[in-house]
A and B are shown apart, each in its own frame.
Chain A
Amino acid sequence: MNVERVGSPIDIAVSGLKAQSARLNVIAANIANADARTESGEPYRRRDLVVRSTGALGGVAVARVGEDGTGKFKRVFLPGDARADKDGYVTLSNVELPVEMMHMLTATRAYQANAAVLKRFQDLTDATLELIR
């Protein structure tokens, strides 16, 4: 006998929860690395999460974590700094704290929305189960 697990709205909502917590992970990494350098000595380049839909009713999945190449590195005149070049300028990462905060807010709200869908579907199932009390 073929068995299919029921509750696909729950799976979809869970895929949303997973995607949003992955986004929060990326944002946390961006904020933590705002002042960091890569192994090659380049400033950290901020990352973005790309998600993709897994079919019409399949929910969402993380496609990849891409680097944001559009934002320019900041150049600040800091002659005494250990990272300064010969002209006294320091190149800093393209992470902008207000931008990260904005992304964090939208990711949090999206996570909450997915949790609300999950809760609502649970309430609906309970309402159906009331019929056979």
Chain B
Amino acid sequence: MPERPDVVQALEAGLRGTALRQALIANNIANLNTPGFRRNDSLFEKVLADAVEDGTLADLHENEAWVFTPGTTPPNAQGNDVDLDMEVGELVKNSALHKTYVRLLGRMYRKLDMAIREDVR
């Protein structure tokens, strides 16, 4: 693990991850009644954690590669395994995570701003 991981880079990757998951959940809900559709999720937490550990944060660019189909929930008669309640729960979790990243990024930039302006309030 490097001495100081680039926090802004990590937060950026995190934000891209939550944005991707938001899109995936929206797609899952849109396909609630599509026969044969299996829900998709992203494994960006795992990818992000590995990248922080290996110091390869700068290479995190291929969002598409983070998408996977868990296939762990039982499909219904039409072969569809999307559950609305579950997607709503995932949505709530994801937006909390997204908000956390945004707030932390805001903090980072405010600190930079403070240093540039030289006026500590």
Contacts and interface: CB of A to CB of B under 8 A. Distances in A.
Interface size for chain B: under 10, 10 to 19, 20 to 34, or 35 or more residues? Answer: 20 to 34
A3 B45 contact: yes
Given A3-B49, A7-B93, A126 B99 contact: yes
Interface in B41-79: 45-46, 49-50, 52-53
A6 B30 CA distance: 25
A118 B93 contact: no
A2 B107 CA distance: 27
Interface residues of A, number: 21
Contacts of B106: 133
Given A7-B93, A122-B96, A132-B104, 12 more contacts: A1-B50, A2-B49, A3-B45, A7-B92, A13-B89, A14-B85, A14-B89, A17-B88, A18-B85, A118-B88, A118-B89, A129-B96
A17 B100 contact: no
B85 A21 contact: yes
B93 A5 contact: yes
A6 B85 contact: no
Nearest to B102: A129
B100 A129 contact: yes
Interface of A: 1-3, 5-7, 10-11, 13-14, 17-18, 21, 118, 121-122, 125-126, 129, 132-133
B116 interface: no
Interface string B81-99: 0010110110011001101
B103 interface: yes
Contact of A1 (B52, B92, B103): B52
A118 B92 CA distance: 8
Interface of B: 45-46, 49-50, 52-53, 83, 85-86, 88-89, 92-93, 96-97, 99-100, 103-104, 106-107
Contact of A129 (B46, B50, B86, B99): B99
A6 B46 contact: no
A21 B89 CA distance: 15
A14 B88 CA distance: 8
A102 to B, nearest CB: 23
A14 B73 CA distance: 14
